[in-house]
Amino acid sequence: MDSTVSDFPARLWRGLVDLLTPSLCLVCNTAVEEPASLCVACWAKLRHLDEPVCNMLGTPFAYDQGEAALSAEALAEPPAWDRARAAVIFNDEGARLVHALKYRDRPEAGLLMARMMARGGRRMLNEADVILPVPLHFFRLWQRRFNQSAFLAQQLSRLSGTPWRHDVLLRRRRTRAQVGLDQAARRRNVKNAFLVRPSQESAVWGKAVLLVDDVRTTGATAEACALALRAAGAARVDLLTFALVPSPGRPHK
C-alpha cells in the first residue's frame, strides 16, 4: 500500500494532538508558549558562548583581546581548521537539547539549536561557499536512522541561504564511539576516517567550507574532517558546533 496514504490518519491525529496540547520546553517539558523553545529557567541555565572568544578555537576569553585574538592553546597547537565557534558551553541543559535531537526524535530541538548556531556563527556562515555536516558511518546512520549534524547543516542552510551538501564528505570506516576515550585515543580513532568523495572534489576545491557538528569534545573528529577537506583543496575550513565541551577527555554523553 502507498505509505503516504496509510500514514495519513496517523499524521492527521498527530496534527490534532499538536493543536490541542501545549508546546513543551525542550529541556524540562514544562509548558511554553512558543513551539521549539525553552522555558525561561532552562534558557537562563544554558551557558551561551558569546564574544570575546579565541578566533581559532572558539574558547571563551575572560576579557576582550581584540578582533581575531588567539589563545595560548591555539598558538601552541593550531588546529587544521581556520576558525571555530559554538553556541553554548556543554552543560546539563545543553546536553538535554542535544539528546532531544539525537535520540528522542524531537527535531524541533534542532531548529532551536540551528538558530542559536546561526547567531554565533553569523560571520562564518556569510563567508562560506558550502556547508558540510560531519558524516556518520552508514552503519550508525542505519542504526539511528538520523544524522543530527546533517539536520543542523540543513537548517543552517535554510536560515542563511548558503547551500549544504551531504554527499561530499564521507566517513570511510567505522570508528568506535568517542565516549570515554582520552584525547590521544580519540585522534587515533578518527585518523584517516574521512575523505572527500573524489567525484565531488570540485565542491571543495578553492572553496570556503563550513563544517557543522552538534558537539565538539576534543575536536579530534573535526580535525580529521578538516585535514580531509584541506587535502581536497579547500581554501578555508571553519567549524560551527552547537556545544563545546570545555575540558576534553571527560565523558559527557
**With the C-alpha atoms ordered 141, 214, 183, 166, is the resulting torsion angle positive or negative?**
positive
Stretch that binds Zn ion, among 9-17, 32-40, 54-62, 64-72 (CB under 5 A): 32-40
**With the C-alpha atoms ordered 91, 94, 97, 102, is the resulting torsion angle positive or negative?**
negative
Cα gap 79→54, rounded to integer Å: 12
> Given the complex with Zn ion, which of 27 and 227 has the nearer CB atom?
27
Among 37, 42, 135, 240, binds Zn ion (CB under 5 A): 42
Query: Under the criterion CB under 5 A, does residue 25 sit at the interface with Zn ion?
Result: yes
Site of grid cell 512558543: 34
> Given the complex with Zn ion, which of 42 and 215 has the nearer CB atom?
42
Determine the straight-line distance between the first and last CA of the chain, rounded to whole angstroms.
Answer: 40
Cα gap 193→249, rounded to integer Å: 20
215: β partners: 243
Stretch that binds Zn ion, among 1-9, 21-29, 116-124, 187-195 (CB under 5 A): 21-29
| Least distance in angstroms from the C-beta of 182 to Zn ion | 33
Cα gap 222→2, rounded to integer Å: 41
Among 3, 6, 39, 239, binds Zn ion (CB under 5 A): 39
> Given the complex with Zn ion, which of 95 and 170 has the nearer CB atom?
95
DSSP label at 59?
P
| Least distance in angstroms from the C-beta of 34 to Zn ion | 12
Residues touching Zn ion, count (CB under 5 A):
5
> Given the complex with Zn ion, which of 39 and 239 has the nearer CB atom?
39
Contacts of 150 (CB under 8 A, 6+ apart): 133, 135, 166
Query: Under the criterion CB under 5 A, does residue 26 sit at the interface with Zn ion?
Result: no
Type of residue found at 215? V
Among 8, 9, 11, 27, binds Zn ion (CB under 5 A): 27
Contacts of 29 (CB under 8 A, 6+ apart): none
| Least distance in angstroms from the C-beta of 20 to Zn ion | 21
| Least distance in angstroms from the C-beta of 26 to Zn ion | 8
| Least distance in angstroms from the C-beta of 113 to Zn ion | 15
| Least distance in angstroms from the C-beta of 25 to Zn ion | 3
Query: Under the criterion CB under 5 A, does residue 28 sit at the interface with Zn ion?
Result: yes
Stretch that binds Zn ion, among 31-39, 121-129, 130-138, 148-156 (CB under 5 A): 31-39
- Helical packing angle, 92-102 and 148-160, nearest 10°: 100
**154 phi/psi in degrees, rounded to 5:** -65, -45
Residues that bind Zn ion (CB under 5 A): 25, 27-28, 39, 42
